[in-house]
A and B are shown apart, each in its own frame.
Chain A
Amino acid sequence: MSELLDAAVAERVLGRALANGGRFAEVFAERRRGLTMSIDESRLEAVQSGAEEGAGVRVVDGGTTYFAHVDGLDPADLERAADEAAAALRGERRQPQPLSAVASQPQPVAHRPEEVAAERKGDLLRELDQRARGQSEEIAQFTSSYGEARREVAIANSDGLLIGDDRTRTRIGAQAVARRGSTVETGAETLGAARGFELLEDDPALIAEQAARKALTLLDAGPAPSGSMPVVVGGGFGGVLFHEMTGHGLEADHIHKRASVYVDKLGQQVAQPLLNAFDDGRMPGEWGSDAIDDEGAPTQQTQVIEDGRLTSYLYDRLTAERDGVASTGNGRRESFRHLPIPRMTNTYIAPGEATPEAIIAGVQKGFYAVSFAGGQVDPATGDFVFGVSEGYLIEGGEVTRPCRGATLIGNCLDALMAIDAVGDDFFMKTGICGKGGQKAPVGTGQGHVRVGAMTVGGTER
């Protein structure tokens, strides 16, 4: 940390940032390193290595944030950013508090990815390729990617805080295409964590097999049904449903702009009493975990729904200040080129008591969404849409046939209230969330969940 941002330099930069006034100033310094590669047509390609460093300086005055970012971490670069941020202010010089360094505990990394030979990563992708293609003659194509990234960050602010974090993330993804005559289907799977290469030591090629199996299963799929019906959502990435339909609406910036259906709903019953949900940036090794957020606040576990009641929004520094509460450690930014905004970390529905079998057995005619290709919500209206990547028909309490091309659509207030069963088979999956033009790694999780009624948009006539 001290190597990234020297305390004396940081104090000087903060002083310059407050040269024309402002109640708060901050410098965010970052060094990013990454390596990605992929395999396609059984050929290793797109080997790419990146190295960037830079800093963002912000000054807050009244309700306005002045922000400037520069490439480079030389003292002159930081001072230039501070001068640019301060340029539009017209107040009296203010003096920042002297800095005192605070230690943080970064997520542990057992095996640094950058110390593993690139050839071994290439071999790993070849192994995935063989595993997927070995599943069936009907696997027509397979692509897979490897990515490692390290973000070292340091944050100093005019309250006297100086803190850093060292974040390593490793991820592999697999996508298979199965073909039978003119029928073509795809299947995808990913594995990622806030960990090092140790993530990939226990049968990483399993995801290739899983992706291939999904694609093969869909070859037998019929059209998805249309209309309103009970929907059972699978565990793990099924949690993206909660992430989209509720999580975003709890981010305090949406609340302050009244652009959320959860405005004025704190303390109210928004779900059945069986539902408990959390955002937790401290889950060890999870994809959305960090020691601190991008404003230097420690990450934490925040219960957002307790027995069906809405208990908390998700805050960064400025939105927390406005509500007179403490930050929940959700101030995140994609890089030094972005301002922090309230973002989820790892968001999940806590395990319930039902078994997945019992949840499905309770449905006479419905839809089983095992996994999603992604989803989107307008937090202001609560309208959401999800593309189902793996879905089945449920008839007479049993899963009967796979369906292609289904979309789930609805309004989050109705859908959340309609959750009438939560499974005990909890696990987490990884996702990349986009908000305000910024991407962030997020974890999503849950066991099987049943929504009493939701609109399925399919092509069945």
Chain B
Amino acid sequence: MSELSATAAGAVEAALAAGAGAAEAYVSRDSGREVRVHGGEVESLTAATQSGVGVRAWIGHRAGYAYGTELSAAGVEAIAARAAEAAAVADEDEAAGPPRPAPIEALPGLSDPSFEFWSSGQAAELALAVERAALGFDPRVTGVEQVVYADAAQRVAIASSAGVAGEYESSDCFAYVQALAESGETRETGLGFGLARGPAGLDPEAIGSEGAERATAMIGATKPESRACPVVFDETVAASFAGLIGGALGANAVQRGRSPFAGRLGEELASSAFVLHDDGRDPAGSASAPFDAEGVPRRRTALIEGGRLRAYLYDTYTASREGGASTGNASRQGYRSQPSVSASNLIVAPGSLSFAELLATAGDGVFVTDVVGLHSGVNPVTGVFSVGASGRAIRGGELAEPLREFTIAGELTAMLGAVQEAGAEARWVPFGGSVSTPPLLVGEIAVSGS
């Protein structure tokens, strides 16, 4: 047994000894680094290690949680005892209980060991190359707010008194730039990013150019007229909306009546052009793992297909409320948070149209490249949204002048019904969780500008 698994097993024993009837421990160890560069110089270089344990304890049908960083035997005992104390405070909940073990299939391809051989100097060089690419793209790019490169390797172990036991490791890295373009009195920003399992998978030239292109494209932007019109979402915007939909399909929100999808299983609510899956085993998705945050195997689940709502996402607790099975969608933000339902990787299926064909089909409308205020502008219960946006006008089926300071408003399920076409090429986007999506053409959305 590895050291991590042994710590997890020890924490489970300690919780049982402290009075818990059942217990689960999740132990993680991360090491990572981050480089920030600006103006051709390294601004900061961070080396980080962290490890901790999170313990769930059940006393009958009461659940409690405690976490901490002290992994000595005495430290783990204290954390386990606090978990049992927390359980004693909670109310009875018949659905609360530990997940049962299920066979776990290994999932190769989550780690790229190459980054261990990349020195900090090489990582810094990659970030500097991103900045050079942004500056070299267009003379109107006057600088960058920042270029960030980060990588991390993580090892996770889980154990429970019900017999769950598992361990895996994964690695991730990303780089992004926020490029600045100036023209006269106006200043515009543009984001470029890349994601991979290791630094060799990142293309600094592409990341820098993307940020520069997005920033310069916005120069001279004006407010559009208020109207309802066809809208094309780029991949980043489509991903943000897919993330909202994935969140609203979590069984916790559905069961508690806080989702626009509650009570609509099997209903035809989307257009057939919008197909959505949750896939916790796609090696390219950063949320992929052999098992979820409570040791249940990850899997692929069809959510919206053929226009119909096919399924919600479950963890063990929400599944138990309905007498069903978990879909392997428990997740957590490391050892500090207890598991809760959420999407793993959301996959929006590509369609058949090239980007130019999408624009041509839209005819006259708006190409939205950025949305802001999603956390404040969406009512998660009703799905009614009104968010800030920027992008380009579409005229005669082609991109035209840049647009800013407008809002797009509507309702999530109505928007799904209005999706007309999906682009042919999908991209992984780290917004709204981990999402792979093509650009989407939505038939009509309310745009408010001047």
Could you tell me which A residues sit within 8 Å of B by CB distance? Answer: 37, 40-41, 43-54, 62-72, 84-85, 87-88, 118-119, 122, 140-141, 177, 179, 184-186, 224, 226-228, 254, 257-259, 261, 337, 339, 372-376, 378, 380-381, 383-387, 389, 404-407, 409-411, 455-459, 461
How far in angstroms is the closest Cβ of chain B from A454? 10
Measured in the bound complex, the distance between the Cα atoms of B374 and A430 in whole Å is 20
Which residue in A52, A67, A227, A372 is a CB contact (below 8 Å) of B448?
A: A227
**What A residues does B257 contact at CB under 8 A?**
140-141, 177, 179
Given contacts A71-B49, A257-B146, is CB(A46)–CB(B65) below 8 Å? yes
B178 CB contacts on chain A under 8 angstroms: 259, 380
Chain B residues contacting A257 (CB-CB under 8 Å) are: 38, 143-146, 180
Q: A418: shortest Cβ distance to chain B, in Å?
A: 14
B48 contacts A409, CB within 8 Å? Answer: no
> Is B322 interfacial (CB-CB < 8 Å)?
no
Task: Tally the A-B contacts, defined by beta carbons under 8 Å.
Answer: 243
11 other A-B residue contacts (CB within 8 Å) besides A46-B65, A376-B372: A47-B63, A48-B64, A51-B82, A63-B41, A67-B45, A88-B45, A374-B375, A374-B376, A387-B386, A410-B405, A458-B386
Q: Which residues of chain B are within 8 angstroms of A47 by Cβ–Cβ distance? A: 63-65, 86-87, 89-90
Chain B residue at smallest Cβ distance from A48: B65
Given the contacts A44-B90, A47-B65, A71-B69, A337 and B50 also touching, CB distance less than 8 Å? yes
Q: Are A411 and B377 in contact (CB under 8 A)?
A: no
- B299-343 vs A, Cβ < 8 Å mask (1 yes, 0 no): 000000000000000000000000000000000000010100000
Chain A binding surface SS class: strand
Decide if A68 touches B90 in the complex (CB within 8 Å): no
CB nearest to B86 among chain A residues: A47
Residues of A within 8 A of B44 (CB): 64-67, 339
Distance of B346 from chain A, by nearest CB (Å) = 22
Instruction: Select from chain B the residue with minimum beta-carbon distance to A404.
Output: B384
Q: Indicate if the CB atoms of A54 and B69 lie closer than 8 Å.
A: yes
Contact check, A71 vs B50: say whether CB atoms are below 8 A apart: yes
Minimal beta-carbon separation of B237 from chain A (angstroms): 14
Q: In the complex, what distance in Å separates the CA atom of A40 from the CA atom of B257?
A: 12
Asked whether, in the complex, the Cβ of B379 is within 8 Å of the Cβ of A186, the reply is yes
CA distance A49 to B256 in the complex (A): 25
B145 near A51: Cβ-Cβ < 8 Å: no
The answer to whether B42 and A64 touch across the interface, beta carbons within 8 angstroms, is: yes
**What's the least CB distance linking B366 to chain A, in Å?**
13
A-B contact pairs, 10 of them (CB 8 A): A45-B91, A46-B65, A50-B68, A51-B68, A140-B257, A177-B258, A257-B144, A373-B376, A376-B375, A383-B404
Min distance, Cβ B443 to any Cβ of chain A, angstroms: 16
Cα of A410 to Cα of B406 in the assembled complex, Å: 8
The residue of chain A having its C-beta at the shortest distance from the C-beta of B383 within the complex is A184
With a 10 A CB-CB cut-off, give which of B66, B404, B409 has the most chain A CB atoms.
Answer: B409
B272 within 8 A of A: no
Inter-chain contacts of A372 with B (CB < 8 A)? 376
